[in-house]
Chain A
Amino acid sequence: DGGITQSPKYLFRKEGQNVTLSCEQNLNHDAMYWYRQDPGQGLRLIYYSQIVNDFQKGDIAEGYSVSREKKESFPLTVTSAQKNPTAFYLCASRGRLNYGYTFGSGTRLTVV
């Protein structure tokens, strides 16, 4: 079955360390997205990529970086510059003809 896989499900890191969250899709979707979710707030866009080797900043890109070397993969790095990294991170993808996004099951990052 096609879908989006995010790993790991839970991640704990010490303050000051960079950490990379994985997102892989086998839906043959061109566009991929990273969102951050905090309690009581809507999803906020971090970065998106419409095509391999290209990506754009979203509303809250500071302290994050991404790469898109393969169509299937869009990893997100949370750097030490991100002031408040503890959150639930969601990856999504969109096919060429689709309006709605397909979401992964998320990674909960806790920085201690």
Chain B
Amino acid sequence: GQQLNQSPQSMFIQEGEDVSMNCTSSSIFNTWLWYKQEPGEGPVLLIALYKAGELTSNGRLTAQFGITRKDSFLNISASIPSDVGIYFCAGQRNNNDMRFGAGTRLTVKP
């Protein structure tokens, strides 16, 4: 299936630092989504983006849908220890065709 390239694979940061991760694809998607997964749990939806160029915030999280519709980024500002987890991007072409990146594992040192 179509792969999404998500980077970086992992990040080790100090509490209070800002974080940026991104996702690229060779194909166009109609929707981009960002999920967070904590150990032993299922992913939880953080932000959904529906329109090219859209910039959306959810608290300290900000995500953008790239103009080309082939990429998206997620920023987390002023990280805190509970931000720890794996963040996944997902691109969706239609209701039943959602592709996931391999994830960015975030570690926050207090």
Contacts and interface: CB of A to CB of B under 8 A. Distances in A.
Interface of A: 4, 6, 9, 31, 33, 40-45, 48, 50, 56, 59, 90, 92, 94, 99-106, 108
Main secondary structure of the interface of A (DSSP, over half): strand
A56 B96 contact: yes
A101 B3 CA distance: 19
A31 B101 contact: no
Interface centre among B31, B50, B98, B102 (most CB of A within 10 A): B98
Given A56-B96, A99-B33, A42 B4 contact: yes
A103 B43 contact: yes
29 contacts: A6-B42, A31-B95, A33-B96, A40-B103, A41-B102, A42-B100, A42-B102, A43-B43, A43-B88, A48-B96, A90-B42, A90-B43, A92-B42, A94-B95, A99-B31, A99-B33, A99-B50, A100-B45, A100-B48, A101-B45, A101-B98, A102-B45, A103-B43, A103-B44, A104-B42, A105-B42, A106-B40, A106-B41, A108-B40
Contacts of B56: none
Interface size classification for chain B: 20 to 34
